[in-house]
Amino acid sequence: MTQKKKFIIGNWKMNPATTSLATDIFKKIQKDTAHLTKTQTIICPPYIYLESLARLQGLSKAAKKTKKKKKESSHTLAPVLLGAQNLNSEPMGARTGEISGELLKQFGVTHVIIGHSERRDLGETDAIINTKILAALNWKFKVILCVGEKVRDDDGHYLAFIKNQLEQALAGVKKENLKSLIVAYEPVWAIGATEAIPPSSIHGMTIFIRKTLFDIYKTRTLTTPILYGGSVDSKNAGEILQQGSADGLLIGRQSLDPNAFTAIAVTANTLS
């Protein structure tokens, strides 16, 4: 497979507490990851911080243009992209408390997390997730589809569970849209826990997910990135990427610590 950039994605969930904290963390990540050429960093903050962070991101884009004008490598700045944690499948209208693709687009959001287990816990079904994915693709977002079992059993039923999550989420998603898909395997029991699952299990799951995508799309040329999420930190990131053969990481708590997040991104960069 061709060498691809690793995705290091921060899911800030319902954090941090203030805009000023959010901008401080983002600025630090921007500055400390700017030299990375083989890693794509993405931050998915609460919606209310998108505007402030988009402004900071605008500065990065301007700086990138200046560099290009000077005929320097466009790789000297790796902008931190912005992602959203959800979106409603409707573009506008009477949907109290919801966010739409139309609203997100104005802040330069490029990626959307869909199907996170914390949203599934709030009642999001596979069918709802499917409509959200179709809407997100329509809006030209890259989709970060989260799948993961709640528990593991010795008989391997969790594999059928994940296969079903993928099949339902991707119903009606065309092969040509796969270039806009990232799958994040997040075993629910490892989210917010003390330890990630062993890299060997992650390796097994990346193979299983790739095989499932092959079964659905009947093509061997799939380059869909498969990420891991769940208690990732700067100590375990390297082995998850290497031995777990993950194409990137979806990080919760440690993405709010700019030093830890940067350390993970630097590790990914050296392994790419």
* Residues making contact with ligand 13P (CB under 6 A): 11, 116, 186, 191-192, 229-232, 250-254
Q: How far apart are the C-alpha atoms of 49 and 53, rounded to whole Å?
A: 6
Q: How far is the CB of 119 from ligand 13P (least distance, A)?
A: 10
Kindly tell me which of 77 and 145 has the beta carbon lying closer to ligand 13P: 145
Q: How far is the CB of 74 from ligand 13P (least distance, A)?
A: 29
Q: How far apart are the C-alpha atoms of 167 and 20, rounded to whole Å?
A: 41
Residue 231 to residues 4, 188, 197, 251, 253, Cα–Cα distance (Å): 24, 10, 8, 7, 8
The single-letter DSSP state of residue 218 is -
Angle in degrees, 0-180, between the axes of helices 19-33 and 258-271, rounded to the nearest 10: 30
Kindly tell me which of 42 and 77 has the beta carbon lying closer to ligand 13P: 42
**Structural tokens at position 264:** 């993970």
Kindly tell me which of 229 and 244 has the beta carbon lying closer to ligand 13P: 229
Q: Which of 257, 152, 260, 262 is nearest to 198 (CA)?
A: 152
Among 72, 98, 116, 176, the one annotated catalytic: 116
Kindly tell me which of 173 and 240 has the beta carbon lying closer to ligand 13P: 240
Task: Find the residue with minimal CB distance to ligand 13P.
Answer: 252
Q: For residue 116, indicate whether it is catalytic.
A: yes
Kindly tell me which of 60 and 201 has the beta carbon lying closer to ligand 13P: 201
Give the SS3 label for residue 18: coil
Q: How far is the CB of 141 from ligand 13P (least distance, A)?
A: 17
Kindly tell me which of 64 and 206 has the beta carbon lying closer to ligand 13P: 206
> Per the omega criterion (within 30 degrees of 0), is the bond before 91 cis?
no
Q: How far is the CB of 144 from ligand 13P (least distance, A)?
A: 9
Contact criterion met (CB below 8 Å) for 39 and 268? yes
Q: For residue 203, indicate whether it is catalytic.
A: no
Q: How far is the CB of 11 from ligand 13P (least distance, A)?
A: 4
Q: What are the φ and ψ backbone dihedral angles of 18, each rounded to 5 degrees?
A: -135, 160
Q: Which residues contact 173 (CB under 8 A, 6 or more apart)?
A: 133, 134, 137, 181
Give the SS3 label for residue 48: helix
- Please list, residue by residue across 62-79, b when 16 or more beta carbons sit within 10 angstroms of its beta carbon and e when fewer do: eebeeeeeeeeeeeebbb
Q: How far is the CB of 21 from ligand 13P (least distance, A)?
A: 17
Among 186, 195, 203, 239, the one annotated catalytic: 186
Task: State the catalytic residues.
Answer: 116, 186
